Amino acid sequence: MSELRPTSTACFRALGHRFSVHTFAELADHLDTMFSALGVDARPNHRYELSRSGGADRGWTLTMDDVELVRSKSASTVFAHLCWHVNRTAIDGCTDRILLHSSGAVDAVGRAVLLPADSGSGKTTLVAGLAQSGLAYLSDEAVGIELVSGTLLGYPKPLSIDPGSWSVLEAIRPQPHPAVAPFVETQWHVPPDALGAVARSARAAVVVSPSYVAGGGTNLRPLSPAETLVVLAENAFNLRGFGHAGFETLATVATECSGYSLEHDDLEDAVATITALLEGAMPE
- Residue numbers of the site for other proteins (CB under 8 A)? 224-227, 229-230, 233-234, 239-240, 243-244, 247-248, 251, 254-255
- The CB-of-248 to other proteins minimum distance in angstroms stands at 7
Please identify, using beta-carbon distances, which residue of 95 and 255 lies nearer to other proteins: 255
Angstrom distance (rounded) from CA 135 to CA 30: 25
Closer of 146 and 227 to other proteins (Cβ): 227
- Decide whether 192 or 259 has the Cβ nearer to other proteins: 259
- Kindly tell me which of 172 and 233 has the beta carbon lying closer to other proteins: 233
Measured from the CB of residue 148, what is the shortest distance to other proteins in angstroms?
Answer: 14
Task: Find the shortest distance in angstroms from Cβ 6 to other proteins.
Answer: 44
- Min dist CB 240 to other proteins, Å, is 5
Residue 18 contacts residue 12 (beta carbons within 8 Å): yes
Q: For residues 76 and 183, give the distance between their C-alpha atoms in angstroms, rounded to a whole number.
A: 4
> How far apart are alpha carbons 83 and 81 in whole angstroms?
5
Residue number with CB closer to other proteins (180 or 207): 207
Considering beta carbons, is residue 58 or 244 the nearer one to other proteins? 244
Residue of 112, 138, 141, 111 whose CA lies nearest to 235 = 141
Count Cβ atoms below 10 Å from residue 265 Cβ, excluding itself. Answer: 16
State the minimum distance, in angstroms, from the CB of residue 252 to other proteins. 9
Report the alpha-carbon distance of residue 32 to residue 26 in Å, rounded. 10
For residue 1, the one-letter residue type is M
DSSP 30-81: HHHHHTGGGB-SS--SEEEEEEE-SSSS--EEEEETTEEEEEES-HHHHHHH
Smallest distance from the beta carbon of 75 to other proteins, in angstroms? 38
